[in-house]
Structure 1
Amino acid sequence: MAGAMVRIPVIRRSSDDIYEFPGTTVSLADMVLGFIEEVEVPPENTTSGSDEDDENSCSVEENKAFWEEQDQLLQATLCKTSSVESKIRQATKEAVREINSSSAEYCVCSRPVAGGCRKCLRTEICKRLIDSGYNCAICKSKWRSSTNAPAGEHTYLEVLDKSSKRGEIRVVIELNFRAEFEMARASENYNRLISWLPEVFVGKADRLRALIKILCCAAKTCMKEKKMHLGPWRKHKYVQAKWFGTLERSTPGSLPVGFSHGPPKPKASILTFDLLESAMPAGLHCAGTAVEVV
């Protein structure tokens, strides 16, 4: 009938007075942004922008809390020491200081490196510790390839101390410790964590194990945040094998003195220190700020 009013049906969508009109078109922008008021969605399946913001905020807070916790764990591990570690630490510092102040060249390679090479430095420090009465040896650990890690080998110094009532204590001396955990494309949080590590490290086995666990966990989280693959040489099993794999001990100028499948786990702590800033020969410094723990 002409002039008659045509009533357009409306559908109440919910109790908040939002209506849907048949024939209404939806813009592309609304579809992309997810603000489509014309589509009926059951209340239980509705997702609001504020919920997503809350999730992102929660993720940021969790990430911040994780790195703060790693910082605290790492510093607590580094700060602990013992009288055995203190003695070996002091002896090692004295050895490096004497090497640095001496005019004699300690590098005996066929092609000597200006300022000395790390291999010859390791040998010279071992000699001086032996002369000071310590049972020091050069250790080379080796491990076979597995499904989770490739084969490899690593060389470091080790002192076996028998003065404790608890029996023989194993103390590791690593001249290139911080560099073992540095990553070229690491996040700011990871780099800050690594900056706490000293370049030269002296510590008992149990604290070294704890330190490796913290750093490998941080490396895994770092790569996950950056959506990058974690190399097998960064994984806990591989890194731990460097200092706890099957090893061969030898003293300078001698044949290997024996093999070990890993000593019993000691119950002591780790002492770390920085020698490169004040006493390491030129050319052996690594980037990063080292922290001396007293």
Structure 2
Amino acid sequence: MVEIRGVAATSLDDMVFEYLEYGEESSPESRFISGDDCYDDDGEEERSSFDVEESKAFWDEQKKLLQGLLYRTNSIESKIRQATKEVLKDAKNSQCGCARFAAAVAGGGCWSCLRREVCNRLINLGYDCAICKSKWRSSSSIPSGEHSYLEVVDRSSAKRGETRVVIELNFRAEFEMSRASEEYNLLIGQLPEVFVGKAERLRGMIKILCSAAKKCMKEKNMHLGPWRKHKYMQAKWLGRCDRSAAAPLPVGNSGRTAKSKASMLTFDLLEAMPIPGLRRTAVEVSVI
């Protein structure tokens, strides 16, 4: 089950990559990430009353934590992010056999075609990019599901080893909720539409955003859907996945034209293979 949510149509020229370039620094996300990947969504004690001051303090803290992850980056992320931004600008001029491709470029359509196009273009630029498809089984707390996204593996630094950079083309929409509070919407509004960042950074963001989603639903006395829980969101990008190269897009991509195919209705056998003594006879063909 791939979650595809429509977002407001926007030009790719205006697509948000809101990151401040502070240069190399040591893993700022480590301040917000515990070693336990199985974050407990249901272990907090429920309160019968709503504390306004406590709520304000919570949302202020989540905002600071999220900014701490968004506004810091390293050179590898910056390089791949800039390449992705340029690729997306060019992708809007591409065509494929899928009628929904143009809608995806505009912000809400065939994400599969757009992922393949971006993946192929990044590969052509020399990046080790692939389409990742994650799948997970149902458990007592979350349903089964699957999700597709892009991944670039950078091996340019022998000291750091491999760096896994996740590219999610519809990132903000993954966390939007139709009945969210104003505080939650303001927090989500800080997210870029397209996320390009290390898996470790994404891990910290998921924890913050899922905690905010749970708080939002609690304050509104609403049930938090299992597909909003931390374990479910984490499985999308940080669980096991099948990594594969992108297949070429259907005819029309990058200005290529289709090869014409001969039809048996128009192929002249006598002209192709002349046989003495045979004459051409007109045959009426009706189309039903």
TM-score range, shorter chain: 0.5 to 0.7
2: CA distance between counterparts of 1:249 and 1:227? 40
State the 1:176 CA deviation: 0.5
Aligned to 1:150: 143
Counterpart of 2:127 in structure 1: which amino acid? Y
Change (3 A) 1:115 1:179: closer
**Aligned match for 2:240, one of 233, 236, 246:** 246
Q: TM-score, normalised by structure 2?
A: 0.65
Instruction: State the secondary structure of the residue aligned to 1:121.
Output: helix
State the 1:234 CA deviation: 0.6
**Aligned match for 1:80, one of 41, 55, 72:** 72
Aligned to 1:14: none
Change (3 A) 1:201 1:113: closer
Q: What does the per-residue CA deviation read over 1:197-248, in whole Å, with 9 as the maximum and x for residues that have no partner?
A: 0100000011100000000000000010001111111110000000011100
Aligned to 1:34: none
RMSD: 1.7
2: CA distance between counterparts of 1:213 and 1:84? 23
1:180 counterpart = 2:174: yes
Aligned length: 195
* Structure with greater strand share of residues: 1
State the 1:253 CA deviation: 2.3
Aligned to 1:44: none
Identity %: 67
State the 1:99 CA deviation: 1.8
1:49-60, aligned counterparts within 5 Å?
A: 59-60=51-52
In our comparison, the structure showing a higher alpha carbon Rg is 1
2: CA distance between counterparts of 1:95 and 1:114? 15
8 Å Cα contact 1:142/1:153 also seen in 2? yes
Q: What does the per-residue CA deviation read over 1:86-124, in whole Å, with 9 as the maximum and x for residues that have no partner?
A: 110111111111222x3x41x333x55544522111101
2: CA distance between counterparts of 1:185 and 1:166? 43
- Indicate the larger mover: 112-121 or 158-167: 112-121
8 Å Cα contact 2:128/2:152 also seen in 1? yes
2: CA distance between counterparts of 1:252 and 1:194? 30
- What 5-or-longer segments of structure 2 have no aligned partner? 1-47, 105-109, 249-288
Aligned to 2:88: 96
2: CA distance between counterparts of 1:179 and 1:161? 27
State the 1:149 CA deviation: 0.4
Counterpart of 1:230 in structure 2: which amino acid? L
1: CA distance between counterparts of 2:192 and 2:88? 15
Change (3 A) 1:235 1:112: closer
Instruction: State the secondary structure of the residue aligned to 1:237.
Output: helix
Q: What does the per-residue CA deviation read over 1:163-197, in whole Å, with 9 as the maximum and x for residues that have no partner?
A: 12210010000000000000000111101100000
Q: TM-score, normalised by structure 1?
A: 0.64
8 Å Cα contact 1:108/1:120 also seen in 2? no
With CA pairs under 8 Å and 6+ residues apart, which has the higher RCO, 1 or 2?
A: 2
Aligned to 1:134: 127
Aligned to 1:71: 63
- What 5-or-longer segments of structure 1 have no aligned partner? 1-54, 255-294
Aligned to 1:197: 191
Aligned to 1:108: 97
Aligned to 1:232: 226
